[in-house]
Amino acid sequence: MTTAQPSTHTDGGSRPVIIEADSVTKTFSTPDGRALPVLEGVSFHLAEGEIVALLGKSGSGKSTLLRCAAGLISPSSGSVAYRGTPLNAANPGVAMVFQSFALLPWLTVQQNVELSLRARGVGREERRERALKAIDLIGLDGFEGAYPKELSGGMRQRVGFARALVVEPDALLMDEPFSALDVLTSENLRSELVGLWEGHEAPVKSILIVTHNIEEAVLLADRILVLSSNPGRILAELTVGLPRPRDRRTPAFETLVDNVYGLLTGREERPPEPAVAGEKAARPAATPTTVPLPQASVGGLAGLLEILLARGGEDGLAEISDELNFEIDDLLPLVDAAVMLGLATVSDARLALTDEGREFTAADILTSKQRFARLAATRAPLVRAITQALAATDDGTLRESFFLDLLQRGFSAEEARRQLDVAIDWGRYGELFDYDADDREFVREPGGAAQP
Ligand code: ADP
Ligand code: MG
């Protein structure tokens, strides 16, 4: 439903611009009142006739950016315009699809779909007709009277799509709409969406999709905006010139996927890693909040390195993730951890073991633990901070709240907890310290593997 005035504002290819974000910055507050910068200076546009993907790691601010584009939250600075008019309320030209479906359980499929029209003041008869048409279009024929709990995940998300499409929005905004579905169901729904889009049957003029899945972005989008993390900025914009439907197995497709892998695994703007040999400590700039720990367990990290060793010590990231059936969200934290600890390097989307990484992987368990302890205590800022703080105590114990408070200066409460959990895993493996879950405190390991 196009409610705003048509605008002559166009993109470079003279297509009317539907949404334009200009230097959007969003800062949240942490529980102790400090600023948490989530988006910084993000500018992009969405024009008629295009599908744009916002791609980034988990926590990079994708959902926040999408909510700004929908006018559900306002940027801390910068602005979002809909057809040339700056937003100061919900964007009238968009409809959204969420990962969690967000259906009302006490309403039938048809009632759920009609709900978005009711909110827009559409009369009863027209509501019915349009809802039935949308339900038909998205393959829900026969399920009009069913309740959400009677439907599979895939069918529920079809209701999510019907509810968005029924209003015929200028822009369809989707937040990881396929990531709660199993592989086959999501593949199926994605290709149906592409079919509707290509056949001009979908009553939308543009699509903005948020995803952490590189292949999904390359399958669907005309342009991919790659977001960096902490804070989210636009790292790169890629044009995907491939005809649809797209085949994952073509060299052009694989090259694009490789390029994006390379961008997302780049070290972004972090300081260069210090050399391992003789290194006492990482650079002063690397603190637990400026260089967060990747969400990687030591077990997962060791597994990745073993696979890499079995593959000759080096392989393409796309090949590794294919082989393991991993999504980027699963693989990237392990890669980031390997790079942080100096066990592997990434270049041109290829992961290669360092000498340190080879020795770590080939060594017996005690030697591996000692090597890991040394690397973690020098190169992982939070592990280093905990180890040093414990060394400075009289009784060798420290409450976890001490570190949680520190972490909450840079992270949300949930992220602070996640950071601490990773540090506990790493510190325990290296026998640098132990964690007492009953007393919620860290305990020094005086005779651990760190001091061979
Ligand atoms: P993504 O969708 O890329 O995973 P989000 O936009 O959901 O990322 O979140 C980015 C960061 O902003 C996260 O660290 C998250 O904890 C934080 N965040 C999101 N919403 C809020 C909020 N309302 N208040 C405080 N922090 C938030
Ligand atoms: Mg999100």
Residue from 412, 415, 417, 418 whose mutation best tests the ligand 1 pocket (most atoms within 8 A of CB)? 412
Q: Whose atoms come closest to the Cα of 100: which ligand? A: 2
> In the structure encoding, which two tokens stand for residue 274, read together?
């210090």
Lowest-confidence range among 8-12, 171-175, 403-407? 8-12
- Residues 247-262 have pLDDT tens digits of 988 999 988 998 898 8
> In the structure encoding, which two tokens stand for residue 17, read together?
């611009």
Lowest-confidence range among 76-85, 274-283, 393-402? 274-283
Query: What's the average model confidence in pLDDT over 429-442?
Result: 93
Lowest-confidence range among 96-110, 131-145, 275-289, 291-305? 275-289
C-beta of residue 407 within 8 angstroms of C-beta of residue 288: yes
Q: Whose atoms come closest to the Cα of 59: which ligand? A: 1
> In the structure encoding, which two tokens stand for residue 139, read together?
């393959």
Residue from 25, 29, 38, 58 whose mutation best tests the ligand 1 pocket (most atoms within 8 A of CB)? 38
The residues, ordered by sequence, that sit 6+ positions from 211 with a Cβ below 8 Å of its Cβ are 53, 54, 55, 62, 176, 179, 217
Q: Which atom of ligand 1 is nearest to the CA of 229?
A: 3
Q: How confident is the model at residue 149 (pLDDT cuts 50, 70, 90)?
A: very high
CA of 16 to the centre of ligand 2 (A): 28
- Residues 369-402 have pLDDT tens digits of 999 999 999 999 999 999 999 988 889 999 999 9
Q: Which atom of ligand 1 is nearest to the CA of 73?
A: 23
Q: Whose atoms come closest to the Cα of 31: which ligand? A: 1
Q: How confident is the model at residue 11 (pLDDT cuts 50, 70, 90)?
A: confident
Q: Whose atoms come closest to the Cα of 232: which ligand? A: 1
CA of 224 to the centre of ligand 2 (A): 16
CA of 127 to the centre of ligand 1 (A): 35
CA of 65 to the centre of ligand 2 (A): 9
Judged against a pLDDT cut of 80, whether residue 273 lies above it is answered with no
Judged against a pLDDT cut of 80, whether residue 448 lies above it is answered with no
Judged against a pLDDT cut of 70, whether residue 271 lies above it is answered with no
- Residues 30-53 have pLDDT tens digits of 877 888 999 999 999 999 999 999
3-state per-residue secondary structure call for the chain: CCCCCCCCCECCCCCEEEEEEEEEEEEEECCCCCEEEEEEEEEEEEECCCEEEEECCCCCCHHHHHHHHCCCCCCCEEEEEECCEECCCCCCCEEEEECCCCCCCCCCHHHHHHHHHHHCCCCHHHHHHHHHHHHHHCCCCCCCCCCHHHCCHHHHHHHHHHHHHCCCCCEEEEECCCCCCCHHHHHHHHHHHHHHHHCCCCCCCEEEEEECCHHHHHHHCCEEEEECCCCECEEEEEECCCCCCCCCCCHHHHHHHHHHHHHHHCCCCCCCCCCCCCCCCCCCCCCCCCCCCCCCCHHHHHHHHHHHHHCCCEEEHHHHHHHHCCCHHHHHHHHHHHHHCCCEEEECCEEEECHHHHHHHHCCHHHHHHHHHHHHHHHCHHHHHHHHHHHCCCCCEEEHHHHHHHHCCCCCHHHHHHHHHHHHHHHHHCCCEEEECCCCEEEECCCCCCCC
C-beta of residue 171 within 8 angstroms of C-beta of residue 202: no
Judged against a pLDDT cut of 50, whether residue 280 lies above it is answered with no
Judged against a pLDDT cut of 80, whether residue 356 lies above it is answered with yes
Determine which residue's CA is closest to atom 6 belonging to ligand 1. Answer: 61
- Our measurement of the distance from residue 427's CA atom to the centroid of its chain's CA atoms, rounded to an integer in Å, reads 26
CA of 411 to the centre of ligand 1 (A): 10
CA distance 135 to 137: 6
- Residues 153-183 have pLDDT tens digits of 999 999 999 999 999 999 999 999 999 888 8
C-alpha separations of 70 from 26, 109, 180, 231, 396 in Å = 14, 24, 22, 20, 51
CA of 77 to the centre of ligand 1 (A): 17
What was the pLDDT predicted at 322?
Answer: 78
What was the pLDDT predicted at 265?
Answer: 81
What was the pLDDT predicted at 114?
Answer: 95
CA of 286 to the centre of ligand 2 (A): 26
What was the pLDDT predicted at 101?
Answer: 84
Residue from 28, 327, 332 whose mutation best tests the ligand 1 pocket (most atoms within 8 A of CB)? 28
Report the candidate in 239, 237, 240 with the shortest Cα–Cα distance to residue 225.
Answer: 237
Q: Which atom of ligand 1 is nearest to the CA of 56?
A: 3
Q: Whose atoms come closest to the Cα of 176: which ligand? A: 2
CA distance 297 to 337: 9
> In the structure encoding, which two tokens stand for residue 303, read together?
């597994």
CA of 55 to the centre of ligand 1 (A): 15
Q: Which atom of ligand 1 is nearest to the CA of 414?
A: 16
In which region does residue 283 sit, left (phi positive, over 0), alpha (psi from -120 to 50) or beta (all else)? Answer: beta
Lowest-confidence range among 43-57, 119-133, 160-174, 405-419? 405-419
Lowest-confidence range among 139-143, 249-253, 348-352? 348-352
Lowest-confidence range among 3-12, 57-66, 146-155, 212-221? 3-12
CA of 230 to the centre of ligand 1 (A): 10
* Strands ordered across the beta sheet of 350-353: 314-316, 350-353, 344-347
Lowest-confidence range among 276-280, 320-324, 355-359, 432-436? 276-280
> In the structure encoding, which two tokens stand for residue 298, read together?
């030591």
Report the candidate in 180, 246, 198 with the shortest Cα–Cα distance to residue 219.
Answer: 246
Q: What is the CB < 6 Å shell around ligand 1?
A: 28, 36, 38, 56, 58-64, 412, 415
CA of 443 to the centre of ligand 2 (A): 35
CA distance 139 to 133: 10
> Which percentage of the chain shows pLDDT scores above 70?
92
Judged against a pLDDT cut of 70, whether residue 61 lies above it is answered with yes
What was the pLDDT predicted at 320?
Answer: 85
Q: Which atom of ligand 1 is nearest to the CA of 175?
A: 2
Judged against a pLDDT cut of 60, whether residue 272 lies above it is answered with no
Q: How confident is the model at residue 329 (pLDDT cuts 50, 70, 90)?
A: low
Determine which residue's CA is closest to atom 5 belonging to ligand 1. Answer: 61
Half-sphere exposure of 265 (CA within 13 A, CB side): 31
Which domains, ranges and CATH numbers included, belong to the chain?
17-263 (3.40.50.300), 298-444 (1.10.10.10)
C-beta of residue 38 within 8 angstroms of C-beta of residue 28: yes
What was the pLDDT predicted at 246?
Answer: 94
CA distance 325 to 128: 43
Determine which residue's CA is closest to atom 16 belonging to ligand 1. Answer: 412
Determine which residue's CA is closest to atom 20 belonging to ligand 1. Answer: 64
Cβ neighbours of 56 (radius 10 Å)? 23
CA of 99 to the centre of ligand 2 (A): 9
